[in-house]
Amino acid sequence: MLFRLYHMETDIEDSKALYYLIQRVPSMTHDVIIAGTGPAGLMTAEQSAKHGLKTLVLEKREKVVDSLMGELVTDKALNFLRVKPTSEFIGNKYSSIIGESLDTGSNIVVDRSLLGNSYLFDEDKCQELMRDRALSDGAEFRYKSRVGSVVKEGKSVVGVKYNQSDEARANLTVGADGSFSRVSETAGFTHPKWLLSYGYRFKLTNCKGIDPDVAYFYVGKDVGLGYLWLYPRSATVINLGIGRVPSSKTNWDKLPPMQDVLKKYMKTHPETQNAKIASINGGVVPCAGIIPRFTDDGVALCGNAAGQVSSIIGGGVTTCFHAGQVLARHAKRMVDEGDFSKKSVEQYEKDYRRSKLASSITNTGKGMWAVSKFAMHNDPIAAAEIVLGGKLDAKTLNELIQGSAGLSTYMNLISEFLPMVMKLGIGYMKAIAVSGF
Ligand SMILES: Cc1cc2nc3c(=O)[nH]c(=O)nc-3n(C[C@H](O)[C@H](O)[C@H](O)COP(=O)(O)OP(=O)(O)OC[C@H]3O[C@@H](n4cnc5c(N)ncnc54)[C@H](O)[C@@H]3O)c2cc1C
C-alpha cells in the first residue's frame, strides 16, 4: 500500500477513491504497462516515464529497431517528437510530392506551400531516441514478451499475461499492440473488421537516376484501392511500398499480389531495374476511423489499436505520437488522483476525441467509407484518373486528404464532379442494399 501512496500529492478526501485505491493497490507492480513499441507505445512510454510514472513496456520482438514506423510525415510529427528537420533523425526531406497514374502517366504536383514540409524519418534512430528517453527516465523494457491477454479482477483490468505463463500488474494497462491488439481483443473492445489497409514496403538499394527531393504516389489498375509510393532516402536508396484496401473480395481477388506489383514496378522503371531488395516490411493499418470505445476500467488503447489513423492516406505516425502524449498526461492524472476507474480512464478518450487531429481522423474515416462503397460498384481507378487528369486542383486534394475541407469546397466539388457524385450516390444505395443497413 505505502509503495504506491508516494504518488498522492494531495490528501484523498474522497472516501470512494481511497476505498478504490486500497482495493487495487497491493498487488500492482507498476503504474502503467504498455504493450507494444510502435510509435504509439514508445511515445506513451517516453511521456509516462517523463511524468515520473513507474512504466513497464512489453514487446514481442527482440528489439525496438528494424520495424516499420511509418514513413512519410510532416512538421507536426517532428514537433511531437521534438526533433529538428536538420537532425540525424530525419532520413530525407522533399520539396514536392507527385501523384501519378501508372497506367496513363497523368499526374498532379503538390508542392510544399500546400502540404507543408514532408520528411522521411530515420526509423531506427527515432525508435532508439524514444526508447532511450524512456529508459533514462526509469522505464523498463522487456523484449520477447508477447502479451496474450489482459488479467481481470471483477470488471477491472489489472495487468497482462505474457509469454503464456508470465504476469505483470499495473494500475493502467495500455494496448499499443497494433491493428490486431491482444489487449483490445481480450479486454472486450470491438473493432470494425472492414477497411483494413494491407501494406508492403521494400527498401531498395543500388537505384540510379533518382531525384532525392521528390516523393511519388502512384495509382493504377494493378494497385487497386490504395496507392503505391516511392520515397527516396537518397539518390540511390528508396522505399518502394504499396497499401491497398479490399473494397470487396471479388475486387481483391482480381488484383495481382502486392509484392508482384512492386516487382513489376522495379522491372519497368529504369531507376530500379538493377536495384536490390535490402529489406521487406509489412503491416496492416485500420482505415475505418477511431473505434467506438477504447477505454475501460484500468485499460486504454492507443494508436492503430484504437483506429487512431488518418484513413484516406493510412498515416498513423503523427496521430500515434499525439495520442500517446494525451494518454500519458491522463495516466499521470490518474496516478495523482489514485483513480483508474472506467470514468477516470474515459477522460483520456473524451479529451482525445475533442482534439483537432481526432476530428480529422473521423472526417477522413467517413471519406474512406464513401470511397470504399464507391469502389464496390464503380471503377475507383477511373475516378482517380479524373482527379489526376486536372479536374481537381492540388489545394483541394490536400484539404480532402487532411480532412480539413470546408463546405464551400464540397459545394464546388459537387458541381465539378456531379457525374462522379451521382455514381457515388448509386454506390451508396447499392452498398446499403447489399449490406442491409
Ligand atoms: C507499409 C506501411 C506504410 C506506412 N506508411 C506510413 C507513412 O508514410 N506515414 C504514416 O504516418 N504512417 C504510415 N503507416 C502507418 C503507421 O506505420 C502506423 O499507423 C503506426 O505504425 C501505428 O503505430 P502503433 O504503435 O499503433 O502500432 P504498430 O506500429 O503496429 O506497433 C505495434 C507494436 O506492438 C508489438 N506487438 C504486437 N502484438 C503484440 C503482443 N501481443 N505483445 C507484445 N507486443 C506486440 C509489435 O511488434 C509492434 O512493435 C504505414 C504503415 C504501413 C504498414
What's the 316 CA to ligand 1 centre distance in angstroms? 8
* Whole-structure pTM value: 0.84
Q: In this prediction, what percent of the chain has a pLDDT beyond 70?
A: 75
What confidence tens digit (pLDDT) does each residue in 260-293 have? 999 999 999 999 999 999 999 999 988 888 999 9
C-alpha cell at 196: 483494413
For residue 197, what pLDDT is reported?
Answer: 84
Q: Out of 164-178, 218-232, 247-261, 396-410, which region has the weakest mean confidence (pLDDT)? A: 396-410
Is residue 146 in contact with ligand 1, taking CB distance under 6 Å?
Answer: yes
Give yes or no for residue 117 CB within 6 A of ligand 1: no
Residues carrying CATH 3.50.50.60, the chain: 2-66+125-192+290-359
User: pLDDT-based confidence at 93, cuts 50/70/90?
Assistant: very high
CA of 69 to the centre of ligand 1 (A): 6
Q: Which CATH architecture has domain 94-117+194-286?
A: 2-Layer Sandwich (3.30)
| Spatial CA neighbour of 147 closest among 169, 126, 125, 128 | 169
Q: What is the mean pLDDT of residues 102-106?
A: 87
Q: Strands 55-58 and 30-35: what pairing?
A: parallel
78 lines ligand 1 (CB under 6 A): no
Q: Where are the CATH 3.30.9.10 domain residues in the chain? A: 94-117+194-286
Q: How far apart are CA 8 and CA 23, in angstroms?
A: 16
Q: CB-based burial of residue 13 (10 Å sphere; 0-12 exposed, 13-18 middle, 19+ buried)?
A: exposed
Q: What is the CATH number of domain 2-66+125-192+290-359?
A: 3.50.50.60
Atom of ligand 1 nearest to the CA of 198: 53
Q: Is 178 in the pocket of ligand 1 (CB under 6 A)?
A: yes
Q: Which residues make Cβ contacts (< 8 Å) with residue 21, sequence separation at least 6?
A: 4, 5, 12, 338, 339
Q: For residue 200, report the distance from its CA to the centre of ligand 1, in Å.
A: 12
For the CA of 309, the closest atom of ligand 1 is: 19
CA of 283 to the centre of ligand 1 (A): 7
